[in-house]
Amino acid sequence: MTEFMQPINPMRITTGNDEWSFKTPVFAITVQDEKVTYLTINGNFYTSEKVKFAEMNINGQWVALESHKHPTMTPATSNT
């Protein structure tokens, strides 16, 4: 069973194509195996593949959420 969490700050997603964009408020999210699923207030589920970007309202400003995969560092071997 997947456990959804409600965001603390208001959140919305943007979906659509090159011609149209739709902004939809998010009710809850889940993250599983680095994949995000959004549950919108109208009961639709959106995976990250269908979402152009997500935003969160922080102090009255809509801020785009970003993720960056950092390269894994291997420890340097010591020659001493």
In the chain, where the domains are located:
11-64
Tell me the CATH number for domain 11-64.
2.30.30
pLDDT digits (tens, 9 = 90+) for 15-74: 988 899 999 999 999 988 878 899 999 899 999 889 998 999 999 999 988 766 667 777
What pLDDT sits at residue 34?
Answer: 77
Question: How many alpha carbons lie under 13 Å from residue 67 in its C-beta half-sphere?
Answer: 8
pTM for the model stands at 0.73
d(CA 69, CA 15): 23
Can you list the positions of beta strands (E) in the chain?
Answer: 11-16, 21-32, 35-40, 45-47, 53-58, 61-64
